[in-house]
Structure 1
Amino acid sequence: MLSQLYAKWMVSWETALTTRDTNRIVRPLEWGFDWLSGFTAPDTKADLDRMIVANQEIVARSDQFFGYETPIDFRLEDRHPQLFPTNIRPETLAQDADFKRRAEAGELDPVTFLRFTSPVTTPYPENDVVNARWYPAPAEKQAGKPKQAMIVMPQWNADAFSHNALCTLFNKFGISCLRLSKPYHDIRRPAELERSDYAVSANIGRTLSACRQAVVDIRSCIDWLEQQGYEQFGVLGTSLGSCYAFIAAAHDPRIEVCAFNHASTWFGDVVWTGQSTRHIRAAFEQAGLTQQQVRQLFLGVSPMAFMEKFAATSKRVLVVHATYDLTFLQEFSLDVLKNFEKYHIDYISKVLPCGHYTTGETPYKYIDGWYLGSFVYQSFKKLALQTA
């Protein structure tokens, strides 16, 4: 009885959190073939079939799709932190205004960001300048072991302060961090948008391209870290960031520590069934598409398509999922674990007694932080001992 009441309460709370933002927009289906130059079939096929073939080509030639040339304009910039909110709730707008006021009054210290031009270009200049807040670990914490670093990627529509506390925590372990702004997020968000809509939308090609850019940006950050003398690397991704982190790790053997905070096998299934993507599903339904077709249309950015590639190199892996997740349904997270078993991937699984959005609420955010923090600490400690 108590468990049923708890489940009902959790689903109600989760639903309230996923419906409180009123600025989600239903945009019509766009195929976006122009975003996938070199991977599209001749236009003699119907658009649906042509895009399915394009996804198959992306998977078959994924080393090329997610390949890149190392940027040559890495630089560190100091500026005052800003929130860059994606919702229009009064309390969030007030918080944003307060940060701006404090910066103008000299009450905020500047912080350091890594900036460089993304190897993947888009029609949006602001999006093509990669932004990663730099959290170098204190020298005394790094002494006596290999230099270690994490790339941290928050969830879809995260503001610029999301996950910063994790970076500070990892610094205490002697692990430096780059908190990477995903494509179309915070300072990279085009001025025409209130939300980071172009990262995941009913424009198929643009969504695939956003994932491509995110993966390449992660790998480019590791290039810069190597130039600074770092030797051991990990990624932590939450929700959409988890998808990006998985695909980056599948294509870059330098990534040895992987923390996936909410995970799924199929990108299209999450879009179709998740509460936070109802507006995108509405566009697909209006166009007459089915869930199975949407799965095929996002094959090229689905972790399931790269499971064997991910398993090809040794990694330490954590998967955190939530029992009452209405965005990444629990069945999809369990499918990840099933496939990790199938491919003999060394992983740890942790379960939160909450949902997707409630993971960020008290007390669940502290439980989640403990799972992530303890895993990262132990994993890098073991890596250091291997090289001692």
Structure 2
Amino acid sequence: MFKRYFHSRERYFAMLNDNRVVHPFEWGAELIVENLNGVDPHTALSELANEWVERSTDVFSSRSAISYELSAISYSGRAAGQLIWPSAIETPSPENNTARAHYFPNGKDRRAAIVILPHWNAKAGTYFDLAKIFNQLGMSALRMTLPYHEERMPPELERAEYLVAPNVGRTLQSVRQAVLDTRAAVHWLKEQGYEKIGLVGTSIGSCTGFLAFVHDPDIDAAVFNHVSGYFSDVVWNGLSTYHVRESLETAVTLEELRKLWMPISPMAYMPKLASQPWRPQRYIYTRCDLTFPYGLSLDTMAQLRSLNIKHDEVVLPCGHYTLGQKPWVWIDGWKIVSFLRRAL
């Protein structure tokens, strides 16, 4: 009965003011493959996917120097700042090429700071209250703007459809950009003198946060809010991405897509995580999730256990969208902040 209720609420919230658009399928190899020279785009992307997984340390790092610009703003009467810098990835959308974050310092205290990675299509101002809670607990916070979101959204879009798209190459490029932007944010916090860095990512922010966590030893602890090991399977089976699948399935199978998007899938880097010194990590998922289906979360937890990766799990009885509703959002928030407070 409870499952039926939550599934009903999930469908209601997912389709509320539904403005999803079915975009045409595109390989998008030209965005990330140099010198295609007439090579079949599917073949080129398959080869690149294998290469990215093998060279992930280089793929998810940037050697270029970064010039940051911080301007003062105010939020709820508290001093805050807006941080901008050139993204390490240059995309066809000029608006998207400037990385952005909102900075909520805890005075002059430099003991700990949290990077906050929002969910897909998060609106301006979301997660500011979470940042404020971190401040109240003695930690600073840096709330990221994801690629193609808010000020980074090109004028032809109403939703951040280029971050998760039926364009194989663009999605790879966009998620890589999100990871590099996250690492640049961590680097800036370290430059400010913060001793410990935590991270919390929700939904797609959980995925990009995991990729950053595995590839950046400066992240000392993390919470992943909604969990799946395969990017492709969430898009293919998730309620929120039905319109993306509608286009994808005209050209690829799920098995093909899983291989093509393996470089942006947490499952590809589980062995890498297992080989590293342990860091505190909490995984939060829900039993009635139709967007990050429950079975995908269970598979991810099973893989962590099989590799003897010490971790903390929280399972809540609601769903993806209902996790953002009371009382679940309060419980979720407590599970996030209490863990990071202890870990840092």
TM-score (norm: length of structure 1):
0.84
What is the correspondence of 1:329-348 to structure 2 with a 5 Å cutoff? 329-348=293-312
Partner Cα separation in structure 2 for residue 80 and residue 190 of structure 1: 26
Larger Rg: 1
Q: CA deviation at 1:203?
A: 0.8
Q: CA deviation at 1:9?
A: 1.0
Tell me, yes or no, if structure 1 residue 121 matches structure 2 residue 121: no
Letter of the structure 2 residue corresponding to residue 57 of structure 1? E
Q: Percent identity?
A: 38
- Other-structure match for 1:32: 28
Deviations 1:49-70 (A, max 9, x none): 3322221111111122112135
Q: CA deviation at 1:42?
A: 6.1
Partner Cα separation in structure 2 for residue 132 and residue 345 of structure 1: 31
Which segments of 5 or more consecutive residues in structure 2 lack a partner in the other structure? Answer: none
Q: CA deviation at 1:345?
A: 1.7
Contact 1:71/1:117, CA 8 A, preserved across alignment: no
What is the correspondence of 1:239-318 to structure 2 with a 5 Å cutoff? 239-287=203-251, 289-311=252-274, 312-318=276-282
Letter of the structure 2 residue corresponding to residue 17 of structure 1? F
Letter of the structure 2 residue corresponding to residue 25 of structure 1? V
Deviations 1:136-178 (A, max 9, x none): 0134xx3xxx621111001000012221121111112221111
Deviations 1:303-335 (A, max 9, x none): 011111223232100000000000101111111
- Give me the CA root mean square deviation: 1.9
SS at match of 2:95: coil
Partner Cα separation in structure 2 for residue 47 and residue 118 of structure 1: 26
Q: CA deviation at 1:41?
A: 7.0
- Other-structure match for 1:49: 43
SS at match of 1:37: coil
Letter of the structure 2 residue corresponding to residue 33 of structure 1? A
Aligned residues: 343
Letter of the structure 2 residue corresponding to residue 121 of structure 1? E
Q: CA deviation at 1:249?
A: 0.9
Tell me, yes or no, if structure 1 residue 192 matches structure 2 residue 161: no
Cα 1:53–1:42 change in 2 (3 A) is farther
- Other-structure match for 2:102: 133
Runs of 4+ in 1 over 3 A off after TM superposition: 40-44, 78-81, 107-111
Contact 1:41/1:53, CA 8 A, preserved across alignment: no
Q: CA deviation at 1:115?
A: 0.9
Partner Cα separation in structure 2 for residue 294 and residue 207 of structure 1: 11
SS at match of 2:309: coil
Deviations 1:234-265 (A, max 9, x none): 21100100000000011111112010000100
What is the correspondence of 1:1-388 to structure 2 with a 5 Å cutoff? 5-38=1-34, 43-44=38-39, 46-78=40-72, 111-139=80-108, 142=109, 147-287=111-251, 289-311=252-274, 312-380=276-344
Deviations 1:65-121 (A, max 9, x none): 11213543211123578xxxxxxxxxxxxxxxxxxxxxxxxx999852111111111
Cα 1:71–1:117 change in 2 (3 A) is farther
Cα 1:138–1:250 change in 2 (3 A) is same
Contact 1:32/1:203, CA 8 A, preserved across alignment: yes
Contact 2:87/2:97, CA 8 A, preserved across alignment: yes
Contact 2:80/2:104, CA 8 A, preserved across alignment: no
Which segments of 5 or more consecutive residues in structure 1 lack a partner in the other structure? Answer: 82-106, 381-388
Contact 2:79/2:104, CA 8 A, preserved across alignment: no
Contact 2:67/2:86, CA 8 A, preserved across alignment: yes
